[in-house]
Chains A and B, each alone.
Chain A
Amino acid sequence: MISRAERYGWVLALATLVAFAVPWFLWGDSRTALGLPLWLWWHAGWMGLAAVVFRLFAVRAWDDGVQGVA
């Protein structure tokens, strides 16, 4: 079991991952780096971060909210 504070933390973390998978703050930006648009680099990096956060979630908080809901 994780603490209530940590549970809210995970909800916030997952919501942030969803919210910024698209870099809204680069809307209309057309700068490129190494042959790819900057916003695509952000996205690729963000997906890497998502994989790490998901892994941490699976190790620490897996089962939370799913098991024994009643």
Chain B
Amino acid sequence: MVALELALVGAYLVLALAVGLVAFRLTDATAEDYYLASRSLGTVVLLFTTFATLLSAFTFFGGPTLTYANGPEWTLVMGLMDGVLFAVLWYVVGYKQWLLGRSEGYVTLGEMLGDRFGSTGLRVLVAGVSLFWLLPYVMLQQRGAGQAVVGLTDGAVPYWVGAGGITLFMIAYVVASGLRGVAWTDTLQGVFMLVFIWGAVAWVLAAVGGPTAATEALADSNPEFLALGGGLYTPQYIVGTAVYIAFGVTMFPQINQRFFAADSEATLKRAFSLWPVLVVLLFVPAFMLGTWAAGLGVAVPEGGNVVPAVLREFTPAWFAALVVAGALAAMMSSSDSMLLSGSSYFTRDVYAPLAGEADREALLGRAVVVGFAVAAFGLSLTATQGIVQIGNTAFGGFAQLALPVIAALYWPRTTRTGMLAAVGGSQAFYLGNLAAVVAGPFESMGAVGAAYYLGWHPGIPGMVLSLLLVVGVSAVTNPSPDENAGAYFGGQRAD
């Protein structure tokens, strides 16, 4: 049975690699093509690559397991976060960045800010902060992949082989084909995930007599799950989680860089209005499957995940294997993009300003992808609790960048000193809170929030602080002579 499951997962991986290689044939040697597919992504590809990149392991593993234990309200958190708030930010941050990227040729966030504020320091700081949160997050994806393979094969394939195999595989197609290959495989993976999560729900519901029967079983076992709110789900939790993750997502390098990669305004408009629909289509089935499993008496092993458990109970082994392949797809489609963006941040915003422009940037970029992937894999083998916590809290770390960036995009009075103070100050604040978790007194950031911030996740007061700092410090400082507000406020036009 293990052989069949591995064959299915392997066949899927080969298919994704083939797509990457076709894209490679279309790739030329410039950095802009490697990182941004020459700003040529159309609606379907841009939508799915952003979507698949967002999803990560949480859709199949973390999310349903949370709703299994706490009820389905996470669907609302997701809808508010990715369906509405992210869509609005897609316009406010993404469209604005796309316009600037087209007129000024920016490839990374650090480049965009460094140019406007005439500051190499700000450029390196933004890239450094981003890489600090990104690397452990990539590591978590590899860990998830390794654990999924162990679970699928009942331990016949050891953890390091699973995580290492996925790492090698991603290196192969990211190195070969850059964003074009990543975007195409993401589209394949996104479609794959949607089809399989609906297939899984349909299969399980057919086996237990339909949604009404499943919900009645849940009403007997966990009636509190059906009532909106309660337990984990306080208003602060729902709103705070949605807000800090939505803002954090826009600053995640692989998402932020997508803002530069659209081929036209029409593409951005179409993707904008399709967000809420896509979010409902994916998360309602994924999270209800987890919730229903609680009513169906599915047992989840300590530290395990509910989706593999419920599939093992109600569907044939080959189907469960396909869904695990879908979950691996979700992890890879996040990690591959993160590797690529991490490479561009390092190459352009850390290496180039400090060591000089690389002669062959696209080649150096590929070498950095390999280095980054191997480093994250190494971390995944040795990860301490501290590293895991940094990865788990990365969204909040990125969220601290969002409001200063929005100020820079829309408020001409923003100064370099204001930006440095806001980025540095809010990161220090957030890291201070994280230190309280890593060092031991608190078990999670949520617990810190409950103790000090009226139940709000520390990411929220951090964002407020970043806004106060960028506005306050900018108001009392003057722009430096080498700042270039004209780069943003010169009245650029889209054609």
Seen from chain A, the residues whose Cβ lies within 8 Å of a Cβ on chain B are 14, 17-18, 21-24, 26-30, 32, 34-37, 39-40, 43-44, 46-48, 50-52, 54-55, 57-59, 62-63, 65-70
Q: Which residues does chain A contribute within 8 Å of B270, judged by CB atoms? A: 58
Q: Which single residue of chain B is at the shortest CB-CB distance from A35?
A: B211
- In the complex, are the beta carbons of B273 and A37 less than 8 A apart? no
The answer, yes or no, to whether B491 is at the interface (CB within 8 Å) is: yes
Give Cα distance in the complex from A34 to B80, angstroms: 23
Q: Which single residue of chain A is at the shortest CB-CB distance from B292?
A: A35
Give Cα distance in the complex from A66 to B212, angstroms: 47
The answer, yes or no, to whether B85 is at the interface (CB within 8 Å) is: yes
- Report which of B99, B227, B275, B288 forms a contact with A30, defined as CB distance below 8 A: B227
Give Cα distance in the complex from A21 to B279, angstroms: 12
Count, chain B residues at interface, CB 8 A: 51
Give Cα distance in the complex from A40 to B219, angstroms: 15
Question: A19 CB to closest chain B CB, in angstroms?
Answer: 9
The answer, yes or no, to whether B296 is at the interface (CB within 8 Å) is: no
Identify which of B48-56, B87-95, B114-122, B157-165 touches chain A. B87-95
Question: A5 CB to closest chain B CB, in angstroms?
Answer: 20
- In the complex, are the beta carbons of A50 and B84 less than 8 A apart? yes
Q: Which residues does chain A contribute within 8 Å of B75, judged by CB atoms? A: 40, 43
The answer, yes or no, to whether B371 is at the interface (CB within 8 Å) is: no
Question: B14 CB to closest chain A CB, in angstroms?
Answer: 36
- In the complex, are the beta carbons of A47 and B211 less than 8 A apart? no
Give Cα distance in the complex from A36 to B96, angstroms: 39
- In the complex, are the beta carbons of A26 and B228 less than 8 A apart? yes
Give Cα distance in the complex from A26 to B493, angstroms: 45
Q: Point out which of A51, A67, A69 has the most chain B C-beta atoms below 10 A from its C-beta.
A: A51
- In the complex, are the beta carbons of B228 and A54 less than 8 A apart? no
Give Cα distance in the complex from A57 to B268, angstroms: 12
Give Cα distance in the complex from A67 to B193, angstroms: 36
Give Cα distance in the complex from A60 to B227, angstroms: 39
- In the complex, are the beta carbons of A70 and B491 less than 8 A apart? yes
Give Cα distance in the complex from A18 to B92, angstroms: 15
**16 interchain pairs (CB within 8 A)?**
A21-B80, A24-B235, A30-B227, A32-B215, A36-B288, A39-B228, A40-B75, A43-B75, A43-B76, A44-B284, A47-B277, A51-B275, A54-B275, A58-B272, A59-B269, A67-B492
Give Cα distance in the complex from A28 to B223, angstroms: 11
